[in-house]
Structure 1
Amino acid sequence: MFFLLNLLGVLVVIGLIFLCSPNKRNVKWKSIFILLIVEFLITWFMLETKIGTWTINKIASFFTWLIACANDGISFAFPSVMANEHVDFFFSALLPIIFIITFFDILSYFGILTWIIDKVGWVISKISGLPKLESFFSIQMMFLGNTEALAVIRQQLIVLKENRLLTFGIMSMSSISGSIIGAYLTMVPATYVFAAIPLNCLNALLIASMLNPVEVSKEEDVVYVPTKEEKKDFFSTISNSMIVGMNMVIVILAMVIGYVALTTLLNGFLGFFVTGLTIQKIFSIIFSPFAFLLGLTGHDAMYVAQLMGIKLATNEFVAMMDLKDNINGLAPHTVAVATTFLTSFANFSTVGMIYGTFNSILGEDKSSSIGKNVWKLLVSGIGVSMLSAMIVGLFVW
């Protein structure tokens, strides 16, 4: 019965996204069906086959090794802190971002990451029949993050029409940056983090093609390739990467501190009017129908609904820290769907980041399409996270 509820959830989410589409006649159902088939095959491969499990374990081990490398640098700067058995969130999850983002930029500098993005993006475009640039962008987000991926294709964004620009804003809600994976792995199971990454990539394409279907001619279906003149020297690149990484750490830390404090403040006000009422309880009620469609019941359904709301209102780090503290008392299916749902940047603050990036690249006039369609970005972010969690949930009981 719970499996059928989970399967029904996939259909319900797609149906709701379709109802939100302002251009239902142009939705390419063949591409959507193909993407869903590919997602089911990828999830089956990763979670149900020995080769898939072995691959995920090897990738997880590699990221664990990267974190260990980062910890050596952190230990040099903070030897007494890292010598403790229990290291704080700031040191264990955030500071490693500085090294990992530098590592990914080194891969990009030597063309390794660019080659992977090009090949995988080309395959996705051929399989789905969707435009090349959108397909490449979905892969770029997976490794680089939303704002970084937008910056990479900025020259092409400048010449795109406004209706197509909106597609990239919608897709940007569902990104995950490779530099942030290490932080996730310190809090939640690696298996479901790595399962969520390709599913979010494909679901971003799927939902964007429903919420904002756009016809792209062959002449327009091209991908911008940066020139050699745009590339900086190696040491300037890695030095800048470290500064960018530190800035990212500060931004995440500020958001975590601020949002946790604001949540406590809001709970204090709510408790003043209604004893025991918290924002978490309100979110658990709002998102509970979708939690039940994840194949959950009772306490687990309400708890996951609460995590969904926390992620949307604050960010995934706040929700993951909560999940980490309660993960041992949860069923495998609950852990799988909760972790998968949380593995993306989709929240209110992400909308601001996307608008700010568009504004800096394109100016106020062209970026107005984002401001006018905030609801589409939020629907996309929630829809992608929900769909990915539901697909993973079908394979874990």
Structure 2
Amino acid sequence: MFFLLNLLGVFVVLGLVFLCSPNKKKVKWKSIIILLVVEALITWFMLGTRVGSWVINQIAAFFTWLISCASQGISFVFPSAMANENVDFFFSALMPIIFIITFFDILSYFGILTWLIDKVGWVISKISGLPKLESFFSIQMMFLGNTEALAVIRQQLSVLKEHRLLTFGIMSMSSISGSIIGAYLSMVPAQYVFAAIPLNCLNALLIASILNPGDVSKEEDIVYVPPKEERKDFFSTISNSMLVGINMVIVIAAMVIGYVALTAALNGILGFIVHGLTIQKIFSIIFSPFAYLLGLSGSDALYVAQLMGIKITTNEFVAMLDIKDRLKDLDEHTIAVAVTFLTSFANFSTVGMIYGTYNSILSEEKSGIIGKNVWKLLVSGIGVSLLSAMLVGLFVW
């Protein structure tokens, strides 16, 4: 029964997104079906086969090694903090971001990451029949993050029509950055984080193709490649990466502190009005229908619904910190769908980040396309997260 509910959830999400589409006749269902089949095969491979499990373990081991390298640098500066038996979240999850961003930027500097993004994007475009730039972008933001990926293709964005600009904004809601994976792995199971990453990438394409469908001519279907003249020298690149990393650490830390404090304050106000009422309880009611469609029941459904609401209104870190302490009390299916749903940047603050990026690299008139379609970005972010979680849920019981 719960498996059927989970399967039904996939079609319900697609149906709801389709109802929100302003150009229903232009939706390319062949591409949608192809992407769904590919995603099902990827999920089965990663979570249902020994080879897939081995691949995930190797990737997890690689990121564990990156974190251990980062820990050596952190220990040099903060030896007493790292010597504690229980290392604080700031040092164990956030500070490694500085090194991981630098590492990925080095791979980009020497063309290794760029080559990988280009080839995988080309394969996705060929399989799905969707435009090259959109396919390229979905892979790029998986490694670089939404704002960084938008900055890389800024020259091409400047000549795109508003309709296509909106597509990139919609896709940006479901990004994941390679530099942040280490922080996720310190809180939740690795296999579901790595399962969510490619699914979010493909679902961003899929949902955007339904929510904002359109035709792209062969002349327009090109991928911008930054000229070599734009590349800085090696030491300037890595130094800048480290500064970007520490800024990201500070921003994330500020957001987690602020949102947790705001939640506590709001709960205090709500509790004063209605005894026992909290924002978590409100979220558990609002998102409970979708939690049941994830194949959950009872208290697990209400708890995951609560996590969904926290993630969308605050960020995934706040929700992951919550589930981290309850992993031993939850069954595997609940953990799988919850962690998969949480593994993305889809929340209200991301809308602001996307608008700010558009405003900085494009004209104010063009960036207005984001402000006019905030609801589409939110529908996309929620839809992608739900679809990825439902696909993973089909293979974990």
Structure-2-length-normalised TM-score: 1.00
Q: CA deviation at 1:363?
A: 2.0
Letter in 2 for 1:218: K
Shift, 1:256, TM fit: 0.3
3-state SS of paired residue (2:326) = helix
Q: Distance in 2 between matches of 1:129 and 1:270?
A: 50
Name the residue aligned to 1:138: 138
Alignment root-mean-square deviation, CA? 0.3
Residue 60 of structure 1 corresponds to 60
Which residues of 2 match residues 74-113 of structure 1 at below 5 A? 74-113=74-113
Q: Does the alignment pair 1:311 with 2:282?
A: no
* 2:373 equivalent in structure 1: 373
SS in 2 for 1:4: helix
* 5+ long unaligned stretches in structure 2: none
What is residue 178 of structure 1 aligned with on the other side? Answer: 178
Q: Distance in 1 between matches of 2:114 and 2:147?
A: 17
How far residue 364 of structure 1 moved from its aligned partner, in angstroms, is 1.1
Q: Report the 3-state secondary structure (helix = DSSP H, G, I; strand = E; otherwise coil) of the residue aligned with 2:73.
A: helix
Amino acid at match of 2:157: L
Q: Deviations over 1:161-190 (max 9, x none)?
A: 011000000000000000000000000000
* Cα distance in 2 between the residues matched to 1:363 and 1:306: 38
**What is the distance in 1 between the residues matched to 2:121 and 2:142?**
11
Any runs of at least 4 consecutive aligned residues in structure 1 with deviations exceeding 6 A, and if so which? Answer: none
Separation in structure 2 between the aligned mates of residue 363 and residue 348 of structure 1, nearest angstrom: 23
Alignment of 1:289-304 (within 5 A): 289-304=289-304
Counterparts of 2:32 and 2:305, CA distance in 1: 27
- What residue in structure 2 maps to residue 189 of structure 1? 189
Instruction: Tell me which residue corresponds to 2:44.
Output: 44
Distance of 2:280 and 2:136 partners within structure 1: 37
Question: What amino acid is the match of 1:338?
Answer: A
Aligned to 1:285: 285
Taking the aligned partners of 2:327 and 2:152, their CA distance within structure 1 comes to 37
Q: Which residue identity does 1:248 align to in structure 2?
A: M
**2:217 aligned with 1:217, yes or no?**
yes
* Corresponding residue pairs, total: 397
Note the C-alpha offset of 1:200: 0.0
Query: Alpha-carbon deviations, 1:280-304, whole Å to 9, x = none?
Result: 0000000000000000000000000
Residue in 1 aligned with 2:169? 169
Unpaired stretches in structure 1, ≥5 consecutive residues: none
Residue type at the aligned position of 1:10: V
Corresponding position: 1:117 with 2:117: yes
Query: Quick one: distance in 2 between partners of 1:81 and 1:361?
Result: 40
TM-superposition CA deviations, 1:178-231 (whole Å, max 9, x none): 000000000000000000000000000000011100110000000000111000
- Please state whether the residue corresponding to 2:346 is helix, strand or coil: coil
Aligned: 1:355 with 2:344: no
C-alpha distance in 2, partners of 1:49/1:118?
Answer: 27
Separation of aligned partners in 2, 1:371 and 1:22: 17
Cα distance in 2 for partners of 1:126, 1:38 equals: 12
Structure 2: distance between partners of 1:268 and 1:167: 40
Aligned partners of 1:61 and 1:117: how far apart in 2? 21
Q: How does 1:338-349 map to 2 (within 5 A)?
A: 338-349=338-349
Distance 1:333 1:162 in 2: 41
The separation in 2 between residues aligned to 1:336 and 1:48, in whole angstroms, is 13
Instruction: Measure, in 2, the Cα distance between the counterparts of 1:382 and 1:85.
Output: 37
Q: How does 1:1-80 map to 2 (within 5 A)?
A: 1-80=1-80
Matches within 5 A, 1:326-345: 326-345=326-345
- Residue 364 (structure 2) aligns with: 364
User: What is the CA–CA distance in structure 2 between the aligned matches of 1:156 and 1:69, rounded to whole Å?
Assistant: 37
Please name the residue that 2:203 is paired with.
203
DSSP 3-state at the match of 1:93: helix
Please give the per-residue CA displacement for 1:340-377, whole angstroms capped at 9, x wherever unaligned.
00000000000000000000010210000100000000
* Amino acid across the alignment from 1:260: V
Q: Distance in 1 between matches of 2:241 and 2:386?
A: 32
Q: Deviations over 1:19-40 (max 9, x none)?
A: 0000000000000000000000
Partner of 2:393: 393
1:187 is paired with a residue whose SS is coil
